[in-house]
């Protein structure tokens, strides 16, 4: 299953991605920018299609992931799996 990558530096905090996610896998941070709840994300990609500045991308199309953290997990025991996914993504794209 593919996930999304959020480029927070490009985000303008419009909230469309958060509103359109059918799984509730995005929530706003203190700046109104989305944070991915990694384990809730499914390969729907509504968030990708509605972002007006393309700050949300499919992981397969994102290239190197951004250095800043764009995701979290809903349960602590999933953290190692999410970190392994991020490391694999970075290794695949040289990030």
| pTM > 0.85: yes or no | yes
DSSP characters over 44-84: T-HHHHH-TT--EEEGGGS-SPPSS--EE-SSGGGHHHHHH
CA distance 56 to 54: 5
Query: From the centroid of its chain, how far is CA 19?
Result: 14
Q: pLDDT tens digits for 61-88?
A: 998 889 888 999 999 999 999 999 999 9
Average pLDDT over residues 47-51: 97
CA distance 58 to 44: 10
């Amino acid at each position: 299953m593919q996930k999304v990558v959020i480029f927070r530096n490009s985000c303008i905090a419009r909230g469309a991605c958060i509103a359109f996610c059918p799984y509730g896998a995005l929530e706003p941070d203190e700046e109104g920018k989305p944070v991915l709840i990694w384990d809730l994300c499914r390969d729907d990609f509504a968030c990708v299609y509605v972002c007006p500045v393309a700050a949300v991308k499919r992981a397969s199309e994102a290239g190197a992931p951004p250095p800043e953290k764009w995701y979290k997990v809903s349960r602590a025991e999933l953290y190692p799996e999410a970190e392994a996914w991020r490391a694999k993504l970075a290794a695949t794209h040289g990030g």
